[in-house]
Structure 1
Amino acid sequence: MLSWTAHLKGGAPVNIYHVAVAVGPDVYSFGGFRNNGKLVTTTTTMQNEVHVFNTVSLRWKQLPGNQRPPAAPSIHEGYTAVLIAGAAATVYVWGGCSSVAGEWRCYGALYAFDVDGRRWSRPGASGSAPEARGNHSACAVGTAMYVYGGTTRWAGQTNSMHALDTAAMVWSSISGADAGTPPPASSLHSSSAVGTTVFVFGGLGDQGERYGHVRAFDTKSRRWLKTPTTPAAGTIRPEGRFGHSAFTHGGELYVFGGSDWDRHFADLWRFSPAASSWRKVRPKGDDVGGPSQSQSRGRWMCCCPVGDDRVVLFNKDDLHVLDFRPSLKTLCKLAVVRHGLKQSGLPHNVRWEMAAMTTTQQRTKKSGRPATLGITGGNRRR
């Protein structure tokens, strides 16, 4: 039973334009704007900030940092972060853009964050690297990172595809007749991998088009596959959008939220690659932990699958947990919260867990000492 099982307000380190990946039970958040409109990423006088949300304790904490540019990423937005899980978990951060003194700049630097050592590095890479850009998408297939689309400084939006072999640290450009026909150039779309296939959905076109089709790229043949761009009669699909979130589960693609300028969506859609069809999904628990109850309404949310069955979405002061297989204990706690039932007779740790699912929190300080927290228990699976 797909359910929203938690909605936390407060404690999130950023507002929008951050990137995040999940490593074990932790979600690592890099950069973005604070609620006061200031960037979290590094300037020449600020240390780089990395924040971690633990999905067991439901707490944020800021990692101590002592690295500055050029060893760590500089101040910008519209970049991507991809986790390559190997002998050592490494997060590769690439690209981005910023406006400096009224001048639009794009970046093509590659950074690597060592999760275990919690340090940044600037790995060298040869080959045909992509042109500097921002608002592109990226995802991992095995030890390769695939970068698609985005906005460059001089050429505007692009539909180029590049791959970085992180084992050999070699870039390659995937283009030409042998690569098939790519989607229209766009930015603010999503790329998600199902097996060895990368699915690109949505995006904002150069003339303001809001795309709602999904395109598939086969990483084995390194070729774009032929997929319908218009729905068949009698079928449905998501409205065209950009700035949405996407993830995969059980061999299917899920798309959440986004915007078409006029509207901000808080809906969830599922795409089946086998049937090439869409279905709108309505999880349980939206009245307790769903995004429709928040101010964010699905805009610019980071989306991180955690483990096999949970997904964390966060933005601004809102964080939501989507559970594909909530335990009976979790469902019972949701029922108590939803119906306002008395909790005085419940064990203390269960009351803590229920409060942690909905209570405003503050993140832990860099010193390791927690800021004022009303709750310390987590929504542990039984």
Structure 2
Amino acid sequence: MGGTVPYQRYGHTAVEYNGKAYVWGGRNDDYGACNLMHEYDPEKNMWRKVEIDGFIPPSRDGHTAVIWNNQMFVFGGFEEDSQRFSQETYVFDFGSATWREMHTKNTPPLWRDFHTASVIDGVMYIFGGRSDHNGQVGDEHLFHTTQDLYDDTLMALNLTTGVWTKQEIPTDATCRPGGRRSHSTWVYGGKMYMFGGYLGTRNVHYNELYCFDPSTVSWSIIDVRGKYPTARRRHCSVVSNGRVYLFGGTMPNPSTCHPLSSTTVYNGVISPSGLADLSDLHVLDFSPSLKTLAMRKVLIDLKAPSHQMFSSLQYDVPADLRYEMYCQVTPNNVVSVGSTRNDQSG
């Protein structure tokens, strides 16, 4: 890997545009927060710093970024220099390599960090995140109360008109998700899906799968088959060819795990803060093939440990299928480098 490699960080965003990855923001404890843009070209295996003239948003972490109409829209986050939560929207134009602040209309979402943003038909949906009871803070007369505030309101920004609207969901709706931070969302089939997250006021990690349908302005809980990922936060998820790939994150010490989660840690390491760094990979298939369903059925009926997979099926299943099934029940070899992040970092 060559070029100008970004320093190690968390709380940044990474988006794909024209086959390249663009990383912006984030921080670490040695260098602080960043507002540089880095581009990664997978074909050349090369990094470069994107040269930008003019205005650049303040350094931050815990923001979100989405791509729409050849532009990247950044919302929220925690600004390091002013020590404030943000509720501003910034736009980066890939064609001109310039930043601007988007002047929106109506009341924007509360100041926050570690929320999520997803785009459906030119509308950006903001959910969750963490703020402070004193609001954005950053004012010389206000101080952080250290009392987290979690918002469960779903907000939508029309990226063409710049108008914010609150999605009016009945407060007594049985499937309305509660506030949380460090969850993940993705879009499939014109709907937004949400998994995981953490509610600091109750010290609860989640592993439900929610779905928001903008056509009916309603939430629902999706009942999926197979083994659920453990309750977690700080994970990532991406959609490719009808499948969602969910990787990593952190979960609490298994001995104090939330009832909804499993007590098994896959390749997990208990960090000094009592959190386990996860390196497990889960796949959610929206349209599983008959082959996939058949393999899952065999695995369920077999009930054999992964190291006995080949011998158990040696005379019944072709070698290539045995290997696929073996991979489905074998932990990956991604190793977490020793983590010293604390519980407050997202």
Q: TM-score range by the shorter chain?
A: 0.7 to 0.9
**For 1:138, which of 65, 85, 91 is the aligned residue?**
65
**For 1:311, which of 244, 249, 257 is the aligned residue?**
244
Instruction: Indicate the RMSD between aligned Cα atoms, in angstroms.
Output: 1.9
Match of 2:252 in 1: none
Match of 2:170 in 1: 231
**For 1:209, which of 149, 173, 182 is the aligned residue?**
149
Secondary structure of 1:291's partner? coil
1:278 correspondence with 2:248: no
Alignment check: 8 A CA contact 1:129 1:162 kept: no
Match of 1:174 in 2: 102
CA distances 1:304-333 after superposition (whole Å, capped 9, x unpaired): 1112x1010010221100000000110111
Aligned partner letter, 1:238: P
Can you give the 5+ residue segments of structure 1 that lack an aligned partner in the other structure? 1-64, 365-382
Deviation at 1:350, TM superposition (A): 1.1
Can you give the 5+ residue segments of structure 2 that lack an aligned partner in the other structure? 134-147, 249-277, 304-311, 336-346
Aligned partner letter, 2:222: V
Aligned partner letter, 1:252: K
Alignment check: 8 A CA contact 1:187 1:204 kept: yes
Match of 1:343 in 2: 313
Match of 1:243 in 2: 182
Tell me, in whole angstroms, the C-alpha distance in 2 between the residues paired with 1:82 and 1:327.
29
Deviation at 1:77, TM superposition (A): 1.6
Alignment check: 8 A CA contact 1:84 1:142 kept: no
Alignment check: 8 A CA contact 2:280 2:332 kept: no
1:220 correspondence with 2:160: yes
Alignment check: 8 A CA contact 2:75 2:88 kept: yes
Deviation at 1:127, TM superposition (A): 4.5
Alignment check: 8 A CA contact 1:156 1:206 kept: no
Tell me, in whole angstroms, the C-alpha distance in 1 between the residues paired with 2:11 and 2:334.
24
Tell me, in whole angstroms, the C-alpha distance in 1 between the residues paired with 2:77 and 2:150.
14
Secondary structure of 1:354's partner? helix
1:190 correspondence with 2:116: yes
Structure 2 matches for 1:98-137, cutoff 5 A? 98-100=28-30, 105-137=32-64
Deviation at 1:357, TM superposition (A): 0.9
Tell me, in whole angstroms, the C-alpha distance in 2 between the residues paired with 1:223 and 1:129.
23
Secondary structure of 1:353's partner? helix
Tell me, in whole angstroms, the C-alpha distance in 2 between the residues paired with 1:219 and 1:129.
20
1:324 correspondence with 2:262: no
1:84 correspondence with 2:17: yes
Alignment check: 8 A CA contact 2:86 2:111 kept: yes
Match of 2:23 in 1: 93
1:156 correspondence with 2:84: yes
TM-score where L is the length of structure 2: 0.77
Aligned partner letter, 2:150: R
Deviation at 1:92, TM superposition (A): 0.9
CA distances 1:247-291 after superposition (whole Å, capped 9, x unpaired): 0001111000011121111110000111111001111112xxx20
TM-score where L is the length of structure 1: 0.70
Alignment check: 8 A CA contact 1:141 1:195 kept: no
Tell me, in whole angstroms, the C-alpha distance in 2 between the residues paired with 1:199 and 1:244.
14
Alignment check: 8 A CA contact 1:199 1:215 kept: yes
Deviation at 1:75, TM superposition (A): 2.8
Tell me, in whole angstroms, the C-alpha distance in 2 between the residues paired with 1:279 and 1:216.
18
Secondary structure of 2:320's partner? helix
Secondary structure of 1:209's partner? strand
Secondary structure of 1:162's partner? strand
Tell me, in whole angstroms, the C-alpha distance in 2 between the residues paired with 1:332 and 1:224.
46
CA distances 1:132-166 after superposition (whole Å, capped 9, x unpaired): 10111111113111110000111411111001011
Deviation at 1:115, TM superposition (A): 2.1
Alignment check: 8 A CA contact 2:181 2:233 kept: no
Aligned partner letter, 1:275: T
Tell me, in whole angstroms, the C-alpha distance in 2 between the residues paired with 1:91 and 1:196.
21
Deviation at 1:363, TM superposition (A): 5.7
Deviation at 1:236, TM superposition (A): 2.7
Identity of aligned residues (%): 29
Aligned partner letter, 1:171: W
Secondary structure of 2:59's partner? coil
Deviation at 1:131, TM superposition (A): 1.2
Aligned partner letter, 2:155: R
Match of 2:232 in 1: 298
Tell me, in whole angstroms, the C-alpha distance in 2 between the residues paired with 1:200 and 1:132.
20
Aligned partner letter, 2:298: V
1:354 correspondence with 2:288: no
Deviation at 1:170, TM superposition (A): 1.5
Aligned partner letter, 1:161: T
Deviation at 1:214, TM superposition (A): 1.4
Tell me, in whole angstroms, the C-alpha distance in 2 between the residues paired with 1:95 and 1:281.
33
Tell me, in whole angstroms, the C-alpha distance in 1 between the residues paired with 2:220 and 2:294.
28
Deviation at 1:234, TM superposition (A): 4.0
Size of the aligned set, in residue pairs, is 280
